[in-house]
Amino acid sequence: MVADTQSNEPVDQSDAIGAVARDQLKSIIARIERLEEEKKGIADDIKEVYAEAKANGYDTKVLRKVVSIRKQDRNERAEQEALLELYLGALGEI
């Protein structure tokens, strides 16, 4: 314990550390909440783009698949496509 310079009473340093941790925690939570709100806004924007695409005659299910495929590595995608053909061929589907 350390003496408080003004009152000469001992001050628990864990209170000071706790205050720092509490402030840090509040800051982290505030940042997460702000980012969650931004994420919601972006999700709403994406939803609007899909709605616009649908209004223009595009199939949104296919658009979502295209976006998903474009996120993949080319080699990974080629491997999945080869396996898909193999499996479908084994089932007599192609």
Q: How far is CA 33 from the centre of its chain?
A: 13
Structural domain harbouring 43: 1-57
CA 3 vs. chain centroid, Å, equals: 47
Determine if the pTM surpasses 0.85.
Answer: no
- In this structure, the answer to whether residues 4 and 18 fall within a common structural domain is yes
Identify each DSSP E strand in 2-91 by its residue range. 2-3, 10-11
pLDDT tens profile 10-20 = 556 777 778 88
- When pLDDT is cut at 50, 70 and 90, the band that residue 94 belongs to is confident
On whether both 53 and 29 belong to a single domain, the answer is yes
35-55 mean pLDDT: 98
70 and 43, same structural domain?
Answer: no
79, 87 in Cβ contact below 8 A? no
66 and 37 share one domain: no
